[in-house]
Amino acid sequence: AQSVSQHNHHVILSEAASLELGCNYSYGGTVNLFWYVQYPGQHLQLLLKYFSGDPLVKGIKGFEAEFIKSKFSFNLRKPSVQWSDTAEYFCAVDSGGSNYKLTFGKGTLLTVNP
Amino acid sequence: DVKVTQSSRYLVKRTGEKVFLECVQDMDHENMFWYRQDPGLGLRLIYFSYDVKMKEKGDIPEGYSVSREKKERFSLILESASTNQTSMYLCASTLEDETDTQYFGPGTRLTVL
């Protein structure tokens, strides 16, 4: 079974600091990759996704992620975080041909202090 | 705008009760999913459905069943609720297109006493 690992359970940053959240997956074939975000009290929503093409994908609110196939990684980055980025972030993988099932990581809680 | 709604935001039930969680989507999506979300465990797939009356087990189906009689509605059933089923339950839907996005509902926080 495929698995998704998120390296950090809780990350605490000050505003304007740079962010990188790690995500590694175990599946060796073709994958679709996602980052979802859950702001306090809100629905889980898509931040960005990768299916093919340019391995550097840009999402909403200044986030980006880079797919590195050789490292089975899809790390999320933002050059300068804001207090409003405080949320829980989930990496997810869809191995395709499996009725679009997603396997999620355990999540990383990001706290940004003003 | 896609809308996925869930019947209750908060629910408190007693051990042994039969519990129904309802999910409705308004975008004619073929695929619907039920997850549970627990701190430190992320989201885990319970069941999913890719068409009316069709269902498949996810990663943790034990203790749950589902029903999809209409395309827009997907129900999660706890036949006999237990305390270890206390959790946040999330419903999601997506089109029959593997490049599409899963849209999530607001969640139902179920407490089983």
In chain A, the residue whose alpha carbon lies closest to the alpha carbon of B49 is: A99
pLDDT band at B107 (very low <50, low <70, confident <90, very high): very high
| Residue B85 DSSP label | G
Looking at residues A8-32, what average pLDDT do you find? 91
B61 — contact with chain A (CB < 8 Å)?
Answer: no
Which sign does the torsion angle of CA A62, A10, B104, B99 carry? positive
Looking at residues B105-109, what average pLDDT do you find? 95
Of B40, B102, B106, the CB nearest to A102: B102
Q: What is the pLDDT of residue A35?
A: 96
Q: What is the distance between the alpha carbons of residues A4 and A27, in angstroms, rounded to a whole number?
A: 9
A99 — contact with chain B (CB < 8 Å)?
Answer: yes
| Beta-carbon separation of A100 and B44 below 8 A | no
How far is A69 from chain B, CA to nearest CA, in Å? 19
Q: Which two tokens stand for residue B101?
A: 């996005």
pLDDT (tens digit per residue) in A29-73: 788 899 999 999 898 999 999 988 899 999 999 999 999 999 999
Provide the mean pLDDT of chain A: 91
pLDDT band at B4 (very low <50, low <70, confident <90, very high): very high
A59 — contact with chain B (CB < 8 Å)?
Answer: no
pLDDT band at B2 (very low <50, low <70, confident <90, very high): low
Q: What is the pLDDT of residue B30?
A: 87
**Residue B27 CB: number of other CB atoms within 10 A?**
13
Q: Are A48 and A63 in contact (CB under 8 A)?
A: yes
Q: What is the pLDDT of residue B64?
A: 97
User: Which is more confident, B84 or B29?
Assistant: B84
B9 — contact with chain A (CB < 8 Å)?
Answer: no
User: Which is more confident, A52 or B44?
Assistant: B44
Best of A3, A37, A95, A101 to disrupt the B interface (most B CBs within 10 Å) is A101
pLDDT above 70: percentage of residues in chain B = 94
pLDDT (tens digit per residue) in B50-102: 889 999 999 899 999 999 999 999 999 999 999 999 999 999 998 766 556 88
Of A43, A99, A107, the CB nearest to B104: A43
Q: Give bridge partners of residue A45 from the DSSP assignment.
A: A37
